[in-house]
């Protein structure tokens, strides 16, 4: 049996040198809503914080 589910929601990232912008994208409405900004730790993404999103 094939899986016919469609992805309707995405978690989107805008990587910067100091911060990472995170948004939720919706295919149905074709919009993106800001979720939060994550500060980088030692010039690297804070992966533990991102995993909790």
Q: Is residue 3 part of a domain?
A: no
Q: Is residue 32 part of a domain?
A: yes
Q: Is residue 2 part of a domain?
A: no
Q: Which two tokens stand for residue 12?
A: 């989107």
* 37 within 8 A of 43, measured Cβ to Cβ: no
**Domain extent for 24:** 9-52
Q: Is residue 29 part of a domain?
A: yes
Q: Is residue 31 part of a domain?
A: yes
Tell me the per-residue pLDDT of 1-53, one tens digit each, with 9 for 90 and over. Answer: 566 678 899 999 999 989 999 999 999 999 999 999 999 988 889 999 999 98
DSSP letters of the chain? --------EEEEEEE-SSEEEEEEEETTTTEEEEEEEEE-BTTB--HHHHHH-
pTM for this prediction: 0.75
Q: How many domains does the chain have?
A: 1
């Amino acid at each position: 049996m094939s899986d016919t589910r469609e992805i309707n929601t995405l978690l989107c990232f805008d990587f910067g040198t100091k911060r990472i912008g995170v948004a939720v994208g919706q295919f149905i409405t074709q919009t993106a809503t800001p979720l939060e900004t994550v500060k980088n730790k030692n010039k690297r993404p804070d992966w533990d914080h991102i995993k909790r999103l």
